[in-house]
Structure 1
Amino acid sequence: MSVEFPVHRLQVPEPQVLPFALGSFDTIGELSRADFPHRHTFYEIVHVTGGSGTHVVDLAHWPLEPPQLYVVAPGQLHHWEAADGLTGQVLLFNEDFLLSHPEDVTALRTLSTHPWRGLGPAAAEVASLFGELEREYHDLAEGYAGMLRSYLHILVVRALRAVSAAAPDGSTAAPGRAAELAAAFGRLIAEPGRSVADCARELGVSPGHLHELVKQATGRTPGRLIRQRQTMKAKLLLARTSLTVRQVARESGFEDPAYFCRFFRRETGMSPGEFRGRAAEPGGWAAERGGGEIHHDPRITSIARLPDGP
């Protein structure tokens, strides 16, 4: 039995309605600050103006230091840890919305691998652009769809310039090659049993070069990212399935259940059995976390969870 992370999509009630939504963390709904790992079929741009916590994107941890801008691309794994008092705007849209500016697809993919801690001089301009987007979105004046696309395009270009100017720590931004390689590495290790050497060979680089560029782009080593993904997969299986520990070990990429138990304890501080017991408690990982209606706007009815894959 194979269990995938939850995948969510935008539900648009009518074909002519824009695949686009904009609101606060409260009006978009609970999934805008979900504390469990999940993926989208759509893009999400998050403008955080206040609050505390950590945003985790493809296993890279980014502590909040508002104001900030995050881009989550379709297929990326993300969630929030210890998020409290989040304020700002959440922008959701499908790739169809980018048809008038197809170059934005590549730009958004680049931005999704370059979260940064502060907007710096760009903070006021980003806030202004979100203000214009909100005005057009709610006023529905003639030509509003084109205006939304134009303001979104400007936002993407401005954000890309900011990323090109400075990396998260204020140093020179990670080159595009590092971001591309890290993204490709992230896709490869979604398959259980992948080693750093295997991935390096498939990507056509040496393990040392892969280590250097992945750490540059994500702040974490390839080995650490693999261990985190294995741990997250094991947690999900232990919390939400009745698989035995031996079966969980195999699904997580371990042939030896005893080694898996030692690995899991080292990574989490508890045995698989202890984790499963805690997850079953009220509020634990086994609690249902679905839904997430967009209450403020009938044009897009909800963010819905897709059926689990095979």
Structure 2
Amino acid sequence: MNKRFPVYDICSLSDAQDEDILVSRFAPYLQVHQNLKLPHKHNFYHLVLFTEGGGTHAIDFEQYPVLPYQIYFMIPGQAHSWSFEEHVDGYVINFSVPFLESFLLKHDHLEQYSFFNGIPDRSVINIPEAFRASIIDLFENILQEAAQPQQQTTDMVRTLLLQLFIKVGRIVGPRQTPSVTGYNYTLLKNFQKLVEANYHILKLPKQYAELLFITPNHLNALSNNLLQKPAGEVIRERVALEAKRLLINFDLTITEIAQRLNFADNSYFSKFFKKQAGLSPEEFRNKIKNATI
């Protein structure tokens, strides 16, 4: 784990030398990595299928019960923690950002799946009974293939992963989005990408509208139509989420976090955070600390 940030890479979680993929049964993975119950982040894609056990897990500070035949998906940068109450087992797969991108001509392939959009409520899926056996078979095939020293093993794992994503995608169904032209939908996706890249610097809708060569009113209309919230709220939510992620790093002071997010001073940051999260940065951090004791 990086000493300054609670961010893990695949190499730090595996005895294997493969920097792009880790596949394991969950019980032995958990036994080796007990420290992962504390809040932390990954710089890779992470998915777990529970087959037995109980307790809770949190994704970006949203709590979910651990249930058998529940699968969750996480994208790089999300914060995560576990609190198990009994023996837990299943499967875990970690893969790097380039792992599938280097295999596919369509580099944004994963974006078409709603469970890879970074929204926790869409990323935790309870598998219906009728599909459980086939999902388990896919995880078993991935596990067995990953252990093989044969040629093209990595490509076979990639192929099986894509089958898994397609099958889960069919289970959850297509994205439900309001009717909107292709041009406007592309504008909104570009806005979201710009927010992801610049939220710590640009905090006003008009700044993003200028980058998109549209008016602020047009941007707000797009955001309200597709996301049911104004563009300003999209920006504020992303800033508040990053603040929460930084607050789990207890080595950073509140002032340092405010500076990283380009707030004029600590007081302004604290007022912003309390309005968004309902409690002060100090109260939020103490809540996290108490939960990990």
Q: TM-score range by the shorter chain?
A: 0.5 to 0.7
Tell me the SS of whatever aligns to 2:10.
strand
Query: Pairwise mapping of residues 100-119 of structure 1 onto structure 2 (< 5 A)?
Result: 101-103=103-105, 105-111=107-113, 112-113=116-117, 114-119=122-127
Tell me the SS of whatever aligns to 1:206.
helix
Residue in structure 2 matched with residue 232 of structure 1 by the alignment: 244
Query: Pairwise mapping of residues 167-182 of structure 1 onto structure 2 (< 5 A)?
Result: 172=176, 177=185, 180=189
Query: Residue by residue, what CA displacement relative to the aligned partner does 1:178-230 show, whole Å, maximum 9, x if unpaired?
Result: 994685265145424523453455455512422443459xxxx5256235325
Which amino acid is 1:53 matched to? Answer: T
Which amino acid is 2:267 matched to? Answer: A
Residue in structure 1 matched with residue 24 of structure 2 by the alignment: 23
Distance (Å, rounded) in 1 between the aligned partners of 2:127 and 2:191:
23
Distance (Å, rounded) in 2 between the aligned partners of 1:141 and 1:260:
54
Distance (Å, rounded) in 2 between the aligned partners of 1:268 and 1:194:
17
Q: CA deviation at 1:145?
A: 4.1
Tell me the SS of whatever aligns to 1:128.
helix
User: Are 1:254 and 2:256 an aligned pair?
Assistant: no
Check 1:35–1:84 CA distance in 2 against 1; reply closer, same or farther (3 A cut). Answer: farther
Distance (Å, rounded) in 1 between the aligned partners of 2:77 and 2:222:
23
Structure 1 gap ranges (5+): 285-310
Q: CA deviation at 1:102?
A: 0.9
Residue in structure 2 matched with residue 302 of structure 1 by the alignment: none
Residue in structure 1 matched with residue 226 of structure 2 by the alignment: 213
Query: Residue by residue, what CA displacement relative to the aligned partner does 1:219-278 show, whole Å, maximum 9, x if unpaired?
Result: xx52562353254156256x213x4x5554343343243343344455566655566778
Residue in structure 1 matched with residue 160 of structure 2 by the alignment: 151
Residue in structure 2 matched with residue 87 of structure 1 by the alignment: 89
Distance (Å, rounded) in 2 between the aligned partners of 1:115 and 1:191:
25
Say which structure, 1 or 2, has more relative contact order (CA 8 Å, 6+ apart).
1
Residue in structure 2 matched with residue 195 of structure 1 by the alignment: 204
Check 1:135–1:198 CA distance in 2 against 1; reply closer, same or farther (3 A cut). Answer: same
Is the Cα contact below 8 Å between 1:185 and 1:199 reproduced in 2?
yes
Query: Pairwise mapping of residues 1-310 of structure 1 onto structure 2 (< 5 A)?
Result: 5-11=5-11, 19-29=20-30, 30=33, 33-40=36-43, 42-50=44-52, 51-56=54-59, 61=62, 63-64=64-65, 66-73=68-75, 75-80=76-81, 82=83, 84-85=85-86, 86-95=88-97, 97-98=99-100, 101-103=103-105, 105-111=107-113, 112-113=116-117, 114-120=122-128, 121-138=130-147, 140=149, 144-163=153-172, 165-166=173-174, 172=176, 177=185, 180=189, 184=193, 187-188=196-197, 190-192=199-201, 194-199=203-208, 201-203=210-212, 204=214, 205-214=218-227, 222=234, 225-226=237-238, 228-229=240-241, 231-232=243-244, 235-236=247-248, 239-241=250-252, 243=253, 246-266=255-275, 271-272=280-281, 283=292
Check 1:240–1:80 CA distance in 2 against 1; reply closer, same or farther (3 A cut). Answer: same
Check 1:70–1:249 CA distance in 2 against 1; reply closer, same or farther (3 A cut). Answer: same
Percent identity over the alignment is 18
TM-score by length of 1: 0.62
Distance (Å, rounded) in 2 between the aligned partners of 1:4 and 1:210:
35
Which amino acid is 2:263 matched to? Answer: F
**Two-structure CA RMSD over aligned residues (Å):** 4.4
Check 1:279–1:103 CA distance in 2 against 1; reply closer, same or farther (3 A cut). Answer: same
Check 1:150–1:240 CA distance in 2 against 1; reply closer, same or farther (3 A cut). Answer: same
Query: Residue by residue, what CA displacement relative to the aligned partner does 1:108-127 show, whole Å, maximum 9, x if unpaired?
Result: 23331152532334333211
Bigger helix fraction: 2
Which amino acid is 1:20 matched to? Answer: I
Distance (Å, rounded) in 1 between the aligned partners of 2:223 and 2:4:
26
Distance (Å, rounded) in 2 between the aligned partners of 1:118 and 1:280:
30
Which amino acid is 2:56 matched to? Answer: G
Is the Cα contact below 8 Å between 2:20 and 2:99 reproduced in 1?
yes
Distance (Å, rounded) in 1 between the aligned partners of 2:131 and 2:6:
34
Check 1:143–1:129 CA distance in 2 against 1; reply closer, same or farther (3 A cut). Answer: same
Q: CA deviation at 1:138?
A: 3.5
Which amino acid is 2:21 matched to? Answer: F
TM-score by length of 2: 0.65
Tell me the SS of whatever aligns to 1:255.
coil
Query: Residue by residue, what CA displacement relative to the aligned partner does 1:77-117 show, whole Å, maximum 9, x if unpaired?
Result: 23136555553211123355447841575332333115253
**Aligned residue pair count:** 265
